[in-house]
Chains A and B, each alone.
Chain A
Amino acid sequence: MAAGTVSTVRTEKPRSALALPVIILAFLAAMFVWMGFTQFLNALTLGAVYALVALGYTMVYGIIELINFAHGDVFMVATFVTMFVSGTILNQKEGIYGIPQLILSLVIVFAVTISIMAIIGAVIERFAYRPLRRAPKLAPLITAIGVSFILQNIIQYLVGPYTYNVPQLFPVDWAVMVGETRVPFLNIFVITVAVSLMALLQLFISRTRTGKAMRTTSMDRDASSLMGVNIDRTIMITFLIGSGLAGAAGVIHGLYYGNTNFQVGFQSGLKAFTAAVLGGIGNTAGAALGGFIIAFVEVGAVVLGFSRWGGAVVFSLLVIFLVFRPTGLLGSHTGDRA
């Protein structure tokens, strides 16, 4: 094959391929200058949480066209798993003394929480959604709302309806000074983890055999099964990954905010879902982008002194945006399925 043809005719739109990173960088620079470094870092961290949760919404919607209302509560459960795992580690070690121990503890918290949430997500799919695979769309939607309540009630029953402290694995006072501003390592760490996970997900979806099966299944389920793709297995893997990412978001929430309660999934879940819609539902890169945008809007409202209006500002902007671009930022254009 001629090497030249590869670069010139690619499947995605070449126009946005270059324009998008430039726009993102310009946006970040503008935000940095305007809100100052501390709030900028805060927005990035919040954005990491929204983006990770939004990915689960968008992946599930992409593959079975279900708005998985229980997903925010999967995130909520993850914050509690983080609380217990962190507590257990801190109790055993009686505090963390050195960096090797800290790294080991963090690896354990992430690995355990992500695994548990992935399994819970797959179980929910298997028993709540799969039996309704051929039912009208409203049935699994109602089921998802039901699962959301069930998860909240289970946590209320097992733990209680109060706000709990999540033990701090990562010392919050570790920081470097950049000029006059203090840069906490925690923020840097959290953002790095989140962005790495998102990059890994993109690689997985675009390069691996299972990732391709996920893409074809979301484009055309019947045609995909005629290629030999095991649809049930592919959908389950989608739930595994989406819930695992919500697990990671739960750990980050726990590390960063240091508290949680059984309702934390509702607000964050709605905002993450909004991020997925803003980015173009079904598009993973869009969901990640949407997560960060929502966070910047929310933190921006705080900077302007409208902290109580954060939610209203976010959703007003969403409504206005969707009027002009109903498919979202990176949503598929009509004609794709022709």
Chain B
Amino acid sequence: MALLELKDVNTYYGAVHALRGISLNVNEGEIVTLIGSNGAGKTTTLRTISGLEHARSGSITLGGTPIHQAKPHEIVRLGISHAPEGRRVFARMSVRENLEMGAFLRKSGPEVQADFKKVFDLFPRLKEREFQAAGTMSGGEQQMLAIGRALMAQPKVLLLDEPSMGLAPILVEQIFDIIKEINSRGTAVLLVEQNAMMALGIAHRGYILQIGEITIEDDASALAKNPKVKEAYLGV
């Protein structure tokens, strides 16, 4: 059974029909990527899953529990973490305080302390900057913090929105290695990317999103070979 499942989800911004009947699923242990051009509805899909946007119809379930009526904070509690587009770290708080906010719903104790250590292992850079204000860090460091912060909630599913945006190629590779590492430790990942090549390189499966609709669904390796995908998203 799918861990996270969307069935025929429709989301509107006022009169604009942004998601036109999206159905997708993420299984346990998987990295699934959602690829599409600007304005296709990738970010809206993630925002609808985490409750920031309201799905007008359709259903979203996590481990069988419907979550499309739940508020964002309830959805976090159920096990979905979302590292949003543009990082959205708390600029005037330190790196440590940001990570503490990631664990907002958890009782502080040895388990949370262990997760601090895990995040600092994944991102040694954050350990160096532990008491620095997040807003003063570089884009790459902020992206690391946004992912680390999302991990502090101990999610079952991690939603990542364009983690490569605005980063130097070498940093992008680093971030993608870390996403793989996070996944190998047991967290399912739904990855939204414009950098289709990189995303398909680490994903198990992928969906192509066009103007609010899913047009192609396949294994990542098959998508990477698909001529239509190659032409439209891989720049070949």
Chain A interface (Cβ within 8 Å of chain B)? 1, 5-6, 9-11, 209, 212-213, 215-216, 219-220, 222-231, 332, 335-338
B residues near A222, Cβ cutoff 8 Å: 52, 72, 84, 88
A residues near B88, Cβ cutoff 8 Å: 220, 222-223, 226
Q: Is B132 an interface residue (CB 8 A)?
A: yes
Q: Is B175 an interface residue (CB 8 A)?
A: no
B73:A338 contact, CB within 8 angstroms: no
Q: Is B149 an interface residue (CB 8 A)?
A: yes
B residues near A230, Cβ cutoff 8 Å: 71, 73
Report 27 cross-chain contacts, Cβ distance below 8 Å, ordered by A residue.
Answer: A1-B130, A5-B130, A9-B131, A9-B132, A10-B131, A11-B92, A11-B133, A209-B104, A212-B100, A216-B90, A219-B91, A220-B88, A220-B90, A223-B89, A226-B72, A226-B76, A227-B76, A227-B101, A227-B102, A228-B73, A228-B77, A228-B153, A230-B73, A336-B91, A336-B92, A336-B135, A338-B135
When chains A and B are docked, how far (Å) is the Cα of A223 from the Cα of B102?
10
Q: How close is B161's CB to chain A, nearest CB, in angstroms?
A: 11
CB within 8 Å of A: which of B195-219? none
Contact with A along B84-112 (1 / 0, CB 8 A): 10001111111001001110110000000
When chains A and B are docked, how far (Å) is the Cα of A225 from the Cα of B153?
12
Q: Is B48 an interface residue (CB 8 A)?
A: no
B90:A229 contact, CB within 8 angstroms: no
- Residue from the list A216, A337, A338 in contact with B101, Cβ < 8 A: A216
Q: Is B50 an interface residue (CB 8 A)?
A: yes
When chains A and B are docked, how far (Å) is the Cα of A225 from the Cα of B101?
10
Known: A227-B149, A332-B92, A336-B91. A213 touches B132 (CB 8 A): no
Q: Is B194 an interface residue (CB 8 A)?
A: no
When chains A and B are docked, how far (Å) is the Cα of A1 from the Cα of B150?
23
Contact with A along B17-61 (1 / 0, CB 8 A): 000000000000000000000000000000000111000000000
- Residue from the list A11, A220, A332, A338 in contact with B94, Cβ < 8 A: A11
A residues near B91, Cβ cutoff 8 Å: 219, 336-338
When chains A and B are docked, how far (Å) is the Cα of A222 from the Cα of B90?
11
Q: Is B68 an interface residue (CB 8 A)?
A: no
Q: How close is A136's CB to chain B, nearest CB, in angstroms?
A: 12
A5:B131 contact, CB within 8 angstroms: yes
A227:B135 contact, CB within 8 angstroms: no
Q: Which 6 A-B pairs have the closest CB atoms?
A: A225-B72, A228-B105, A228-B76, A223-B88, A11-B133, A227-B104
Closest to A225 in B: B72
B93:A216 contact, CB within 8 angstroms: yes
A residues near B77, Cβ cutoff 8 Å: 228
B102:A212 contact, CB within 8 angstroms: no
Q: How close is A180's CB to chain B, nearest CB, in angstroms?
A: 48
B residues near A337, Cβ cutoff 8 Å: 91, 135
When chains A and B are docked, how far (Å) is the Cα of A183 from the Cα of B131?
46
Q: Is B156 an interface residue (CB 8 A)?
A: no
A residues near B153, Cβ cutoff 8 Å: 227-228
Max count, chain B CB within 10 A of own CB: residue among A219, A220, A223: A223
A335:B73 contact, CB within 8 angstroms: no
Q: Is B143 an interface residue (CB 8 A)?
A: no
When chains A and B are docked, how far (Å) is the Cα of A332 from the Cα of B90?
13
When chains A and B are docked, how far (Å) is the Cα of A216 from the Cα of B52?
16
B131:A213 contact, CB within 8 angstroms: no
Beyond A212-B104, A226-B88, 12 additional contacts (C-beta under 8 Å) are: A9-B132, A11-B94, A11-B131, A213-B104, A222-B84, A225-B52, A225-B76, A227-B101, A228-B77, A228-B104, A231-B72, A338-B91
Max count, chain B CB within 10 A of own CB: residue among A6, A10, A222: A222
B residues near A225, Cβ cutoff 8 Å: 51-52, 71-73, 76
When chains A and B are docked, how far (Å) is the Cα of A6 from the Cα of B52?
35
When chains A and B are docked, how far (Å) is the Cα of A301 from the Cα of B75?
56
When chains A and B are docked, how far (Å) is the Cα of A151 from the Cα of B92?
37
Q: How close is A283's CB to chain B, nearest CB, in angstroms?
A: 11
Q: How close is A310's CB to chain B, nearest CB, in angstroms?
A: 36
When chains A and B are docked, how far (Å) is the Cα of A6 from the Cα of B84?
29
A residues near B149, Cβ cutoff 8 Å: 227
When chains A and B are docked, how far (Å) is the Cα of A219 from the Cα of B89?
9
B100:A226 contact, CB within 8 angstroms: no
B residues near A231, Cβ cutoff 8 Å: 72-73
Closest to A223 in B: B88
When chains A and B are docked, how far (Å) is the Cα of A326 from the Cα of B51?
36
When chains A and B are docked, how far (Å) is the Cα of A326 from the Cα of B82?
35
When chains A and B are docked, how far (Å) is the Cα of A216 from the Cα of B102?
11
When chains A and B are docked, how far (Å) is the Cα of A9 from the Cα of B131?
6
B residues near A9, Cβ cutoff 8 Å: 131-132
When chains A and B are docked, how far (Å) is the Cα of A253 from the Cα of B93?
36
Known: A6-B131, A226-B52, A227-B153. A219 touches B92 (CB 8 A): yes
Max count, chain B CB within 10 A of own CB: residue among A226, A336, A337: A226
Q: Is B164 an interface residue (CB 8 A)?
A: no
Q: Is B183 an interface residue (CB 8 A)?
A: no
Q: Is B11 an interface residue (CB 8 A)?
A: no
B residues near A336, Cβ cutoff 8 Å: 91-92, 135
Q: Is B81 an interface residue (CB 8 A)?
A: yes
Max count, chain A CB within 10 A of own CB: residue among B76, B91, B94, B105: B91
